Amino acid sequence: MQILNPSTTPAYSGVIRNTVQIARTEGFFSLWRGMSSVIVGAGPAHAVYFATYEAVKHAMGGNQAGVHHPLAAATSGAAATIASDAFMNPFDVIKQRMQIQNSSKMYRSMLDCAKYVYKSEGLGAFYISYPTTLSMTVPFTALQFLAYESISTAMNPAKNYDPLTHCLAGAVAGGFAAGLTTPMDVIKTMLQTRGTSTDPEVRSVNSFIGGCRLLYQRAGVKGFFKGVRPRIVTTMPSTAICWSAYEFSKSYFIKRNDAA
């Protein structure tokens, strides 16, 4: 939905209609294209993410019980994103390429896609969207962590382990941040998939400003919010699971350390 289409007729419109049409024309399992790239990269990237988050948050005094530190939450989230995205960006590029319509005819696997991108566009293709990615993920993470800390502190001032609080706060915080940062995600997708576009103007875009200019010319302000609903819908459960797993692991290791 976010890819800039040279045709005046949109390839897909509407979340449910999109899902049915993709499954019907490209097969049910095409809905999971690019998952292998996410699986390989997400684990190490999240380890870097939360390790950086805790280190910066602790250094800024954000772990004090009963005290709300919005600046510490936002800053530690932004720092965590910069570190983890440096690792994850190439995997995200591969994922985007594999999710393009009819990409299964071009790539046999994640490794095949990586080789193709490297041979045809060079190493820089894996990081051309990194500045734009940061322009999206840094505010996304800062907003998410700020919202999560605010909601979880309001629901659980003592900051004890509470699965319901962590799940609900994670879902709401993720959806809130996803909606507000959709414009940057649209531009990021354009930069990551430009190498496969048949549109010469799209292929020539090589910066965030250039992408914004072209998108506004083609689609207006509405173009910056293409795919906002599926982005929110998919982000909410993933951030709920992520925060729940993180808080569970954190609680487990704290108890284990105290018992030692």
Distance CA 119, CA 11 (A): 28
- The whole-model pTM stands at 0.64
Domains and CATH numbers, the chain: 34-259 (1.50.40.10)
Residue 40 CB neighbour total at 10 angstroms = 15
Question: Over its length of 260 residues, how does the chain's per-residue pLDDT go in tens digits?
Answer: 555 555 545 555 566 776 677 667 666 656 667 778 888 888 889 889 889 988 998 888 877 766 667 788 888 888 998 999 988 999 988 888 887 756 555 677 888 889 988 998 899 889 888 887 888 888 898 899 889 989 998 999 888 899 999 999 999 999 999 999 999 889 888 887 887 778 888 888 888 899 999 999 999 999 999 989 999 999 999 999 999 999 999 899 888 888 86
46 near 117, Cβ under 8 Å? no
Pseudo-torsion of CA 229, 189, 83, 147, nearest 10°?
-20
162 near 191, Cβ under 8 Å? no
